Structure 1
C-alpha cells in the first residue's frame, strides 16, 4: 500500500513539474542535425539558453544552470563595469592608458590570447574596448580594469559583488579575463586561489548580457565588427578578425547578429554569447561547453548549433501587437486601454488577457530568466470613468464658461425677483 502511495506521489510530482515548465525537448545537436548538420553527440553543449533581450523571457533552454567556465566571456563583466564607471564620470572613451611593465608582461604570458603590446605605447579606452572584444586580449582587458580599480583583488571583488547584485547565482570570478588562474602566474590576484577557473552558467551569462545591452547598448558598436584595425597608421597598428563566426560578415554569418563575445580554453571548450535582431525582436543566446578545445570542428559546430537554435526561436516566437488601444470588454465591465500592448507571441501557446489593479498583460505559460522580470503591461480603467473624464477634459473651457454664465444669469434673476424696479429704471435710462 505504501509503495502504491509513494509511486502515485512521485507521478503527481513529476507531472506537476512537467506542466509547470515549458518543454524544450530537442537538444542543440538534435536541432542542428534536423537542419542537415550531421554532427555527433560529442559536440552537445553543457548548457544553452536563449532569452528575449527586452524582458528576459526564456525562449529555449537546455541545462542552463550547469556550472561551467565562461573563459573569455568573463571579459563581458569587466566591460560592463568599465561602462558603469564611465557613467559615473571616472573616465571616458578618450582616456588613455600607458602600457607599463605589468601590462607588457601579461601580453607575453604563454597560452593566453593577447595582442602585441609595446612598452610605453598609449591606448584610448575606445581602442582598448575594441581590442578586448575582437582580439579577446587579456592584457588590454587588464588595462581597462585598472581604470576602474588599480588593485586587481578589489576589482575582482567588485565583479563578484556585481554578479550577486544581478542575481547571477552560479557565478564566481577569480580574475578579470577568464583564463585559468594558474596561467596568470605572478599576476594572479592576491587572495584568490591559484588553480581555479572563473565559473558561471548559461543562465547567468544571459542575465549579464541582458543588463549590459539594456544599460549600455553602445557595446554593439564594438561587437558588430567582423574585422577591425586599431592604432591605424602607427607602429602599433594591428588588424583582428572576430571569433564570433555567427556575426554578419563572418564565416557562418547569421542575418541580424551583431554581437557579442566568445570564450574558449582547454578547460571550457568553446563558449559563445550571441545577440541578434530580426523584425525588432532582439534575442540573447548563450552556449557553454562545446568540447573539446583540441578538436578543430568544435569551434565551428558551436556556431552551427547556435544558428540552428536561432532559426527555431525566430520561427516560434515573434513580437506583435496583442491588444489595441481603445474600448474593450472584460467580463461584465467595459474598460478603456490607454496604449497598444506589444508582447512576445508563442505559436505553441495561445494567450489570454489578465486585467488587475489597473494593469493588463498578455498571459500564457512561460518562464523568465529571473524572478524580477514580468510580462509587459499597459494601463486600463473603467470605460465610463474614462468617458466622463475625457468629456470634461475636452470641453473644459465650454463647461467653465457655461457654469459662469449660469451663475451670472441666476444672480440676475435673483436680483430681479426681489428688486424688479432696478431693471426697469436701468431700461428707461
Structure 2
C-alpha cells in the first residue's frame, strides 16, 4: 500500500513538473516554426509589402539569372514609353550570337541575319532564361549592354533597392564574357542582389507590370524549331518527375544558377486573392530551391490573412476631437482617412495599436488648431504600432505602410470679426482680473 502511494505520488510529481515546464514555455510565434535550408531567404506579402519571414535577407549574393528580372522590367518600361513595341524587330549582333552559340550557357542558339521580334526575344528570356536574347534586348533598348547596365543600376536606385550591383544584363559572371565585358564594369565582377532587394525588384515587376506573369507562367513553348520548357518546376509540367514540385497558384517568376550563386529562385504565387513573393538564394540543388520555396508558401498561406485592423474613419478613443481657436466651433472631429490592412496571424491581431501625431504647424502655442479648417484637411498621421514579436517590417517605405493621414471630419469656419473682437476683449479683462487677483494675493 505504501509502495503504491509512493508510486502515485511520483507520477503526480512528474506530471506537475511536465505541466509547469509546458506552461513556462513562451508561446512561439509562427515565424519561428519555418526553417529554410538556404543561405538567404525572404517571404513578402505582394499587396502590402509586409515581410512575413526572413533569413539573412540583407546578404548580397550573386543572383545568377534572377538578374533578368531587371532586364524584364526595363523591357516593359520601354514598351510603356513607346520606345519599342512587341512587334519591333532586331537582328542578332556578334556578341549575343557568340553567347547563344556557346553550349555552356543557357539557350538553344540564335541565327544571325534574321529579324527577331521583341516578343520572341522576351519570351525566350523569361520562359527558359536564354542569355543571348537577353543581351539582344539590352542592345536594342540602350545601344550597348554597357549603357543598359547604367539603366539597370539607375532603376534599382529609383526602386529603393539597398543591396545590389548590376554589371551585365544576364547574371553570367563577367569573367565568362571575354572581350564582351560591358563597358565600365569590372571584368571579374558579378551581379549582386540580396534576397530583400530581389523581392523588392519582383514586387515592382508584378505590381507595375502584372502582364509579366502571363509570360512567366507559360510552361512550354517553341523557339527556333525547338520545344522548350520553363525552368520553374513549380508550374504544372507534364513530366512525371516534375509533378512533385507543382504548387497551386505559382505563376512566376525567375530561376537562377551559377557555380558561385548556387541554385536560387524568386517565386510568386496567388491563392484566394492573396499573393506572396518569395526568394531563396544559394541552395545546393535544382530541387532544393523549389522545396524550400514550398515551405515558405505553406507557412505564408496557412498562417497569414490580410485583415482590416483599423477602418476608414477610425477614431482613437479619448482623442476623437481637437480644440479649435478662433473658429465658429470650439472643436473638430478627427479620423483616419483610409483603412489600414495588415497580413497577420490570429495570435497577432490584438498586438496592434494606433498612435496619433498632429502636425505642429497646424497648432498655435496653446496646442489648438487654427481656423478655418476644411473637411478632409490633413491634420496629422495615425501610425500603427506592433507590440508583438518577430516583426520583420516592410520591404519598402515602412512609414507609408505603417501610417495613414489623419483628417478633419467637418468644416470649421473662422469666427466673424465681431465675435473675435468680443473674444479678445473678454480675454483682456479675464487676464487683467487674473493679474489683479494674483497681485492682491501677493500682499498677504
- TM normalised by structure 1 equals 0.72
2:229 maps to which residue? 241
2:343 maps to which residue? 344
The one of 355, 370, 374 aligned to 2:396: 370
Instruction: Please state how far the C-alpha of 1:28 moved relative to its aligned partner.
Output: 3.4
Kindly tell me: are residues 104 and 318 of structure 1, through their superposed partners in 2, closer, same or farther at Cα, counting changes over 3 Å?
A: same
2:307 maps to which residue? 320
Q: CA-atom RMSD, angstroms?
A: 2.6
Distance 1:286 1:125 in 2: 28
How is 1:29-428 mapped onto 2 (pairs within 5 angstroms)?
Answer: 29=36, 44-230=37-223, 236-249=224-237, 251=243, 252-291=245-284, 298-325=285-312, 330-331=317-318, 333=320, 341-349=340-348, 350=350, 351-356=352-357, 357=379, 359-360=381-382, 362-365=384-387, 366=391, 367-371=393-397, 374-375=400-401, 381=407, 385=410
Instruction: Please state how far the C-alpha of 1:223 moved relative to its aligned partner.
Output: 0.6
The one of 27, 31, 35 aligned to 1:28: 35
In terms of mean alpha carbon deviation, does 67-76 or 339-348 score higher?
A: 339-348
In terms of mean alpha carbon deviation, does 243-252 or 351-360 score higher?
A: 351-360
- Contact kept, 8 Å, 1:243 with 1:262, in 2: the verdict is yes
Structure 2 regions of 5+ residues with no counterpart? 1-28, 321-332, 358-378, 414-444
Structure 1 regions of 5+ residues with no counterpart? 1-21, 30-43, 231-235, 292-297, 390-429
- Contact kept, 8 Å, 2:96 with 2:131, in 1: the verdict is no
Kindly tell me: are residues 382 and 152 of structure 1, through their superposed partners in 2, closer, same or farther at Cα, counting changes over 3 Å?
A: closer
Distance 2:50 2:343 in 1: 9
Distance 2:334 2:153 in 1: 47
Instruction: Please state how far the C-alpha of 1:26 moved relative to its aligned partner.
Output: 4.9
In terms of mean alpha carbon deviation, does 219-228 or 114-123 score higher?
A: 114-123
Instruction: Please state how far the C-alpha of 1:381 moved relative to its aligned partner.
Output: 4.8
Distance 2:68 2:210 in 1: 16
Instruction: Please state how far the C-alpha of 1:325 moved relative to its aligned partner.
Output: 4.8
Residue by residue over 1:268-308, the C-alpha shift from the partner in whole angstroms, topping out at 9 and shown as x without a partner, is: 110000011122221110110002xxxxxx21121111111
Distance 1:68 1:324 in 2: 41
Distance 1:95 1:84 in 2: 14
- Contact kept, 8 Å, 1:343 with 1:376, in 2: the verdict is no
Instruction: Please state how far the C-alpha of 1:195 moved relative to its aligned partner.
Output: 2.3
Instruction: Please state how far the C-alpha of 1:375 moved relative to its aligned partner.
Output: 2.4
2:375 maps to which residue? none
- Contact kept, 8 Å, 2:174 with 2:186, in 1: the verdict is yes
- Contact kept, 8 Å, 1:45 with 1:287, in 2: the verdict is yes
Instruction: Please state how far the C-alpha of 1:113 moved relative to its aligned partner.
Output: 0.3
Distance 2:383 2:302 in 1: 23
Residue by residue over 1:357-416, the C-alpha shift from the partner in whole angstroms, topping out at 9 and shown as x without a partner, is: 465465425311234553266666566x38x99xxxxxxxxxxxxxxxxxxxxxxxxxxx
Instruction: Please state how far the C-alpha of 1:335 moved relative to its aligned partner.
Output: 5.6
Residue by residue over 1:209-238, the C-alpha shift from the partner in whole angstroms, topping out at 9 and shown as x without a partner, is: 1111221111111111112234xxxxx333
Distance 1:23 1:63 in 2: 18
Distance 2:148 2:408 in 1: 53
Residue by residue over 1:306-355, the C-alpha shift from the partner in whole angstroms, topping out at 9 and shown as x without a partner, is: 11111111222111333445675632527666665433223332222444
Instruction: Please state how far the C-alpha of 1:61 moved relative to its aligned partner.
Output: 0.3
Kindly tell me: are residues 104 and 343 of structure 1, through their superposed partners in 2, closer, same or farther at Cα, counting changes over 3 Å?
A: same
Kindly tell me: are residues 322 and 160 of structure 1, through their superposed partners in 2, closer, same or farther at Cα, counting changes over 3 Å?
A: same
Instruction: Please state how far the C-alpha of 1:161 moved relative to its aligned partner.
Output: 2.4
Q: Give aligned pairs, total.
A: 341
In terms of mean alpha carbon deviation, does 262-271 or 324-333 score higher?
A: 324-333
Distance 2:191 2:340 in 1: 41
- TM normalised by structure 2 equals 0.70
Residue by residue over 1:167-223, the C-alpha shift from the partner in whole angstroms, topping out at 9 and shown as x without a partner, is: 322211221101111211232223322222211110110111111122111111111
Instruction: Please state how far the C-alpha of 1:256 moved relative to its aligned partner.
Output: 1.2
Instruction: Please state how far the C-alpha of 1:102 moved relative to its aligned partner.
Output: 3.1
- Contact kept, 8 Å, 1:69 with 1:200, in 2: the verdict is yes
